[in-house]
Amino acid sequence: MKRRDFIRRAGLGTLAAGSAALAGCGEEKAPKAVAGSSADRRSFEWKMVTSWPKNFPGLGTGAARLAELITEMSGGRLTVKIYAAGELVPALGVFDAVSEGVAQMGHSGAYYWKGKSEAAQFFSAVPFGMTAQEMNGWLYFGGGLELWEKVYAPFGLVPLAGGNTGVQMAGWFNTEINSVEDLEGLKMRIPGLGGEVLRRAGGTPVNMPGGELFTSLKSGAIDATEWVGPYNDLAFGLYKAAQYYYYPGWHEPGTTLECMVNREAFDELPDDLKAIVRGAARAANADMLAEYTARNNDALQTLVDDHGVELRRLPDGVLGRLRELSHEVVGELAEKDPLAREVYESFRKFRDQARAWHDISERAYIEARG
């Protein structure tokens, strides 16, 4: 709240300075209010649809913070009303709703839209891909965001990073995973590229919204599910439906959540409100990662100490095979169309140089810290 108050006071100070400058221009007239000018004081009311349950920790509350921040930073000139999954459109109907103008904004994950564009999956999570820190580097300073805009342009959408979960967990299982053979026939909720990797390992991937996970796992409709990590998984009560909790999240090493904006609605905004939308999304992106970093371990301790969850690491042999299949799946995706190839080449190049640096920075330090 203090940060938002500071931003709001800073914005008001800027507006006051601008007004004083205009007043000092003697008889010169202030510019007319035209779209895109700083003198355009029109007000706008937007809807934001999300893929998350109402007030769900991290994901849902992160989207709500973004809507609140835009409203506050704009001084109420751009108000954003948020709708949870199912309130206005289904959880997996966000893309179409924003593209068609049913809502001006959406908050979701780009890997849900592989049916729209295979290349979209690179902007959420790639198995054995980049961490949150690396994803942010690529998006903001490595050309990733420009490529994302290119992918979404045919759908009339402006994509923005709107959050990141960090490294996720491998998921909840009702059977032990001791070898690759244990994945055969396993029916698991796992979206995106990770789902295709599981398929090639002999499993059956299922895509369903978060609100259906507990019931499906409890009833045996699925044998396993990944969701996010301890903070979210505790809130969903998944420990009541499965015994084994595996790590690491090979399939989602730094999942970027997206804030998509309808292009026509965005273009209608004056320049200062466009800057506020972009700035608020960037702040929300950083906030969400910070929250998960702060909350996950406490939640994990609760799961293990209070609820008797069996925390397990996936065997090296399983991880090794999943890594091989991941390289195969991602490589084939890159060959599907020229745009997917362009995105993949940018992603791969940045991942490799970031990894080289992190080998002697982040990884070296963490190993030295012990």
Same domain? 66 vs 159:
yes
Strand pairing class (171-173; 256-262): unpaired
Same domain? 221 vs 315:
yes
Per-residue pLDDT at 240 exceeds 90: yes
Region 62-75 average pLDDT: 97
30 within some domain: no
Same domain? 113 vs 196:
no
Alpha-carbon distance values, 147 to 119, 139, 151, 240 (Å): 10, 9, 6, 42
Q: Range of 135's domain?
A: 42-164+254-294
| pLDDT tens digits, 345-356 | 999 999 999 999
**Distance of alpha carbon 242 from alpha carbon 222, whole angstroms:** 11
Region 139-148 average pLDDT: 98
- pLDDT score at 40: 84
* Choice between 313 and 35, residue whose per-residue pLDDT is larger: 313
Tokens (6 digits) for 369? 């810290």
* Choice between 24 and 229, residue whose per-residue pLDDT is larger: 229
Last residue of a domain, one of 228, 262, 294: 294
Same domain? 277 vs 309:
no
DSSP code for 119: G
| pLDDT tens digits, 289-313 | 999 999 999 999 999 999 999 999 9
**What pTM value is reported for the model?**
0.87
DSSP code for 156: T
Least confident span in 21-35, 245-259, 279-293, 336-350? 21-35
Contact 342, 348 (CB under 8 A): no
Last residue of a domain, one of 294, 320, 349: 294
Number of domains in the chain: 2
Region 321-337 average pLDDT: 96
**What does the angle CA 305 – CA 248 – CA 56 come to, to the nearest 5 degrees?**
65
Same domain? 123 vs 136:
yes
